[in-house]
Amino acid sequence: MNPAAGPELRDIHLPPPPGWWPPAPGWWLLALVGVVVLVLAVRMLWRLERDRRWRARVRAELERIAAAHARDADAQQLSIAVSALLRRASRLLAPHAAALQGEAWLEFLDAHLPAGEAAAAPFRRGAGRALLDAPYRRADDPAVAVDARALVALARRWLAHALRAEASHA
């Protein structure tokens, strides 16, 4: 260039590209939302797994009760154990259910069966009636005669329906 033409000009200098740290506020907000969603998802999965294991333990306990009855053939102990198991499981559906007595307890159990089966009232009029009086009779009383197979099958159906209904409400 000709020195008489003027001062020598330099080209425009661009600033350095922005660094990746610290992130913009939007990225911080997105990270916070992601952590909250992750914590909620883990908590929900943990709760679902805990409930699934509890339902499996309840079903396994009913099978242990049935196996114990098959060994001992004690109808009174069977009705006591099945009633206690159903009372514990019923607290998931309605906390007040475990305190129900007499016909109200059997009506509650019938009400939480599938619609077609509830109309037949198998607890109030069928094998489930044994839950009401068999635990309180003498073991040698002929009135203690309990249809054990029907009672265990009824308890299985009730647990299957009630625990599935509880799981869908959770």
pLDDT for res 169: 59
Inside any domain, residue 26: no
Q: 159 in a domain, yes or no?
A: yes
For the segment 42-60, what is each residue's pLDDT rounded down to a tens digit?
A: 999 999 999 899 989 999 9
Residue range 90-127, pLDDT digits in tens: 988 888 988 899 999 999 999 988 888 877 889 998 88
Q: What is the dihedral of CA 51, 96, 133, 117, to 10 degrees?
A: -60
Domain range spanning residue 97?
Answer: 57-169
DSSP secondary structure of 96-151: GGGG--HHHHHHHHHHTS-HHHHTT-HHHHSGGGHHHHGGGS-TT-GGG---HHHH
Residue 118's nearest CA partner among 106, 131, 130 is: 106
Q: How far from chain centre, in Å, is Cα 157?
A: 16
In a domain, 27, yes or no: no
Mean pLDDT taken over the chain: 87
pLDDT at position 167: 61
**Among the ranges given (2-16, 21-35, 65-79, 150-164), the one the predictor scored with the smallest mean pLDDT:** 2-16
Does some domain include residue 124?
yes
pLDDT digits (tens, 9 = 90+) for 124-158: 988 898 888 877 777 677 766 778 899 999 999 99
Residue 96 belongs to some domain of the structure: yes
